[in-house]
Structure 1
Amino acid sequence: MFDPIEKTFTNYDYQDGLQSNEFNSNAFMKSKSGTLYFGGINGFNYFNPSSIELNTKVPNIVFTDLYLFNKKLDVGEMVNDRIILEKPITVLETLVLNYSDNIFTIYFSSLDFSAPGKNLYCYKLEDFENEFSNSTSNRFVTYTNLNPGKYVLTVRGSNNNNLWNESGASLVLIIKPPFWLTWWFFMIAASLIVFILYSVYKYRINKILELERLRVKIASDLHDEVGSTLTKVSMRAQMLEMQINGEKESKNLKRISEQAREAVSTMQDIVWAIDSRNDGFNNLIDRMKDTAFSVLTEKNIKVDFSESGIDSDEKLNLEMRQNLYLILKEAVHNIIKHSDASEVNISLTNSDAFLTMMIADNGRSYKKKEHHTGQGLRNIEMRAKKINAECEFKHDNGFIVIVKTPPIL
């Protein structure tokens, strides 16, 4: 039927009461009153166009059924020890499902029965779909594997004359998360992680403290027992040296006394290195100064000791602290043995690139060969290698030892 005012066509079919959608050729007639007659394969239809009225009733939209895994759920039905529909879905405002209820279908209907088969629907699930679906005569929608969260399903519907209920019907849909995605599980997991990290931290701290106590104990035992014994040996050798007249025996005792004193000095260095109370950079500097000034000033050699970029409270590991000190001690003894220096400059410089220790003397009468081939320099190179340091020897108005280690940051 054509509306000349709106310039639109309205189509009718068997759902509107026609005998069929098929009519016979030339089987039509118009009466004097304007009534039209049409003959078809199942009879005939007649109507007066002026008496046809369009359906102007806006239909109500309702939800009718819920299916879970393609099975209809009744009100009060138990599913996995819980009731999903406590009342009909028609009057339900909020539907709560578990994350495991991941295949469900919701049915709906337009309450206009003029020609129910011609009613149309469109729907949108907010926070999941951005736009309404295309219009369809299907009265249901199926969703699968929705993420946990809150959604709103809105369904619009029309009557047989394409008059739409724009407000439609809405149903709040809540998908409950699995327990491992709940806030309380996150709190428990976070607390457990913090507890584990704290336990590991406490364990490591306790191990470090236990190691430091062991180092202190070893250092104390070495100092009290071994040091005392070596000192007694040295003293007794000196006493025997004074009492014996024979030159050979006297030399041997003197050698024993010297070796005992060297052993005491070496043992003191080991005790100092082991003792965790000396781990600070300031302890290393003090030890270096004590050695340099005590040994060199005894030979009337002027000493200048400087440092820059040093954090005196910074902690050094045992190997770094011990080898830096022994390198300096070896260099100082080399100066005494091989140089007639009158002045020695010692510097410690910490930068972003290196920790640099330089020991320079102004000696002139040393033998160059001894500096390159002596055991002392080999010891310095060996100890530098232990701490991944670069070692360099220079001859520039004297002899210079340069040791560069990774920076202490």
Structure 2
Amino acid sequence: NGLNAFYPEDLLNSSRTPSPMMTKVVRFNAAKDSLLTYYETATPNGIVIDPSDTYFLIHFALPDYGNPRKSQYMARLEGFDSDWSYLGFSNNIRYNSLPPGKYTLRVRGVPPNGYWSAEDLLVPIVVRKPFYQRTWFVVLIILIVAAGAYGFFLYRLEQQLGMEKLRMKLSSDLHDEVSGLLSGIAMQSDMLQLIVKDEDSKARLHIIGEASRKAMSKLSDVIWAVDSRKDKVEDLIQRMREHADDMLLPMDVTYELKIEKIDLQQKMPVHLRQNLYFVYNEAINNIAKHANATKVSIEFGNAGNVFEMSIKDNGNGRARSSSKTGQGLSNIQMRAQRLNASLQIIRDNGYTVRLTMKKFA
């Protein structure tokens, strides 16, 4: 029988191993619920995977016709795998739900009794982004949001301008029509007092004239409150001075208005301006009617993050709400609540109304 000797490397096929070839691509499309198979795999961009593809398989083979089932493979997906994966005798590889991006699949093969292929099979793979991750969709959403925000801004601006026009028209109409009518009634009552001889009639005409003038004064406050051209802090302060002049100076009551740390050009929301003025208005009216004062101190301004308005007199009377109108102090409290402000009413060494709230200017 004898003894046989050999070198193992002599058993290997010394011919050069060609690179593997891609044979087909199988994709499962969840949107179509179908398994799609492609045999013509050579495309300029490689394999394109849609966002709806749940998984895909790539089949390949060595062009070896001796015993192809005994060929072995290894693969690596550049951009996804960190190292080569040994596939054994399996001639396909599967990937599930790859993230969007560009990849390159490298495949090496070795036939029985041969060497690993010197050149790799290179398969470009492009996984498309879902439509909601694409640049055009993001830009479209940004444009839609920007257009919506711009449209909303224009709508609010139009509403605001419309409201301001309505307030201007209302204040002008009230001034021209109603104020003129009340002024005419007051003048007619004064003229009739000079003509009539009956004392009772004169007294009634005098009451009508005074009522007309009071109504004109109240209406003037309302016209000022709704006029959109009077929305600055300095407009409010000017109106406060005018009211103090009208109510206090004829009664020989001096006043001091102190303004501290506030922007006079700051525009004020209409509800803020109206409620602040009517609190001040009612406080001055109560002092003029009931306080028996000779001096009034008014402070209006900011202290840190707090706005404060205080009206203090040196009188010895009782500043109270009018029994005829049923308003007065209760009206001041109601308006302070509308402003979410803290209200103090102090009857010690005179009469003090102090309103504090969050800084607005």
TM-score interval w.r.t. the shorter chain? 0.7 to 0.9
Q: Which amino acid aligns with 1:64?
A: M
What secondary structure, in the 3-state scheme, does the structure 1 residue paired with 2:248 have? helix
Alpha carbons 2:17, 2:118 under 8 Å: kept: no
Please report how far the alpha carbon of residue 307 of structure 1 lies from its aligned counterpart in structure 2 after TM superposition: 2.1
Please give the residue correspondences for 1:273-284 in structure 2 after superposition, counting only pairs within 5 Å. Answer: 273-284=225-236
Structure 2: which 5+ runs fail to align? 28-34
Please give the residue correspondences for 1:38-77 in structure 2 after superposition, counting only pairs within 5 Å. Answer: 48-50=5-7, 53-55=10-12, 59-69=17-27, 70-75=35-40
Structure whose CA Rg is larger: 1
Please give the residue correspondences for 1:215-294 in structure 2 after superposition, counting only pairs within 5 Å. Answer: 215-294=167-246
CA distance in 1, matches of 2:164, 2:8: 107
Alpha carbons 1:120, 1:162 under 8 Å: kept: no
Please give the residue correspondences for 1:124-143 in structure 2 after superposition, counting only pairs within 5 Å. Answer: 124-143=76-95
Q: Which amino acid aligns with 2:191?
A: M
Please report how far the alpha carbon of residue 60 of structure 1 lies from its aligned counterpart in structure 2 after TM superposition: 3.4
Give the alignment partner of residue 184 of structure 1, picking from 136, 153, 156: 136
Give the alignment's TM-score, normalised by structure 2: 0.85
Give the alignment's TM-score, normalised by structure 1: 0.76
Partner of 2:256: 304
Alpha carbons 2:23, 2:61 under 8 Å: kept: no
Alpha carbons 1:391, 1:401 under 8 Å: kept: yes
Q: How big is each residue's C-alpha offset from its partner over 1:220-266, in whole Å with a ceiling of 9 and x where there is no partner?
A: 01000000000111111122233334443332222211111111111
Identify if the C-alpha distance between structure 1 residues 171 and 247 changes in structure 2 by more than 3 Å, giving closer, same or farther. same
Q: Which amino acid aligns with 1:310?
A: I
What secondary structure, in the 3-state scheme, does the structure 2 residue paired with 1:61 have? coil
Q: Which amino acid aligns with 2:21?
A: F
Identify if the C-alpha distance between structure 1 residues 120 and 306 changes in structure 2 by more than 3 Å, giving closer, same or farther. farther
Q: How big is each residue's C-alpha offset from its partner over 1:72-128, in whole Å with a ceiling of 9 and x where there is no partner?
A: 4233xxxxxxxxx4xx47xx6733343344432211234566764444322232333
Q: Percent identity?
A: 31
Highest relative contact order (Cα 8 Å, sep 6+), 1 or 2?
2
Partner of 1:367: 318
Q: Which amino acid aligns with 1:231?
A: S
Alpha carbons 2:17, 2:114 under 8 Å: kept: no
How many aligned residue pairs are there?
351
The root-mean-square deviation of aligned C-alpha atoms, in Å, is 2.9
Please give the residue correspondences for 1:160-179 in structure 2 after superposition, counting only pairs within 5 Å. Answer: 160=112, 164-165=116-117, 168-179=120-131
CA distance in 1, matches of 2:209, 2:245: 24
Q: Which amino acid aligns with 2:84?
A: F
Alpha carbons 1:148, 1:176 under 8 Å: kept: yes
What secondary structure, in the 3-state scheme, does the structure 2 residue paired with 1:177 have? coil
Partner of 1:199: 151
